Amino acid sequence: MRNQSVGPLSSVDNALQVVEMLATRPSLRVIEVSEELSVARSTAHRILAALMARGFVVQDAHKVYRPGPTLQRLRQPELHGRRISQEIMHPHLERLAALLGETCHVAVLEGSSTRFIDSVESHRTLRVGTRTGMLLPAHKTAIGLVLLAELPYSSLRAMYPRGLTGDAKEARLTLETLDRKIRAARRTGYARNIGESDAGISAVATCLRDPSGRAIAGLAVAIPTPRFDDYSLADLKRELNATAEAFKADLVATAPEISDRYST
């Protein structure tokens, strides 16, 4: 017999159990929550909806629930969300944008999507606009690709159980194509997006890492596609890498307790 109790203590316990489940697996479906909690699917859906409203979970295009930004911040409160961009990263982002004369972004993975958490916009007439707050498919952004490349293959397959989403125009973009791009990003440490998230935008991205070397966000320079060939890819990679290294050094200097924890 299913446990249909909807008392306040039972509801809180059920929600906490779902949070615990997400601590040990990359994703959840309604049926999994229903079976593990011994509740009806409608009850499982309500629990997940309540957690999603508070940012503990997010739902991707496949109706799969994954850890949301609130849960991510609780896991590593000093390294996630807006603190990265505003307190530590933003000055580096400003310097990179000024140096290159192009718009630069910082973003994190949110399920199978990329959430842009900070941008510094170019002052040029033809420029890429800010994307702060936007959520785009990870496989269609340079930042998304370098962050996906940090995940084990098992997590990637679980993230795209039915293949990639999208319309007919991107039907050619198969999981095999994504695998190729991810292998390239793993090999080089960088990823490119040539007009995939927007026909007029091209970008190059790399990871931002904590003192242990773990990727915690992505850094990208976004350039109007007609101007992209004016740049040397090697130069863009060099400046992105210099900024990422400066960020990591600043992270250690401004939060030594984080560095101490990772070095023990």
Q: What is the pLDDT of residue 9?
A: 63
Contacts of 109 (CB under 8 A, 6+ apart): 115, 138, 144, 147, 148
Answer yes or no: do 64 and 94 share one domain.
Answer: no
Answer yes or no: do 96 and 58 share one domain.
Answer: no
As a whole number of angstroms, the distance between CA 34 and CA 42 comes to 8
Answer yes or no: do 33 and 57 share one domain.
Answer: yes
Residue 176 in any domain: the answer is yes
Residue 217 in any domain: the answer is yes
Joined together, the tokens standing for residue 3 give: 């446990």
One digit per residue, pLDDT tens: the chain, 264 residues? 344 444 556 788 888 888 888 766 777 889 999 998 989 999 999 999 888 887 788 877 677 887 776 666 555 434 444 455 467 889 999 999 999 999 999 999 888 889 898 899 999 999 998 888 888 889 889 999 999 999 887 777 777 766 675 544 554 557 778 889 999 999 999 999 998 888 899 999 999 998 888 898 999 999 999 999 999 999 999 999 999 999 999 887 875 544 444 333
Answer yes or no: do 91 and 129 share one domain.
Answer: yes
Answer yes or no: do 110 and 53 share one domain.
Answer: no
Q: Look at residues 17, 41, 74 and tell me which one is the last residue of a structural domain.
A: 74
Answer yes or no: do 44 and 68 share one domain.
Answer: yes
Answer yes or no: do 154 and 167 share one domain.
Answer: yes
Residue 3 in any domain: the answer is no
Answer yes or no: do 184 and 208 share one domain.
Answer: yes
Q: Coil, helix or strand for 181?
A: helix
Residue 2 in any domain: the answer is no
Answer yes or no: do 118 and 216 share one domain.
Answer: yes
Residue 1 in any domain: the answer is no
Residue 189 in any domain: the answer is yes
Longest dimension (CA), the chain: 67
CA distances in angstroms from 126 to 24, 204, 226, 228, listed in the order given: 45, 18, 10, 12
Answer yes or no: do 102 and 180 share one domain.
Answer: yes
Answer yes or no: do 127 and 245 share one domain.
Answer: yes
Q: Look at residues 18, 50, 74 and tell me which one is the last residue of a structural domain.
A: 74
Residue 44 sits in a domain of what CATH number? 1.10.10.10
Q: What is the pLDDT of residue 124?
A: 93
Residue 41 in any domain: the answer is yes
Domain that holds residue 239: 76-263
Residue 170 in any domain: the answer is yes
**Site of tokens 């999507």:** 113
Answer yes or no: do 24 and 45 share one domain.
Answer: yes
Taking the CB of residue 25, how many other CB atoms lie within 10 A of it? 12
Residue 183 sits in a domain of what CATH number? 3.30.450.40
Q: Look at residues 74, 102, 128 and tell me which one is the last residue of a structural domain.
A: 74
Joined together, the tokens standing for residue 180 give: 């190729």
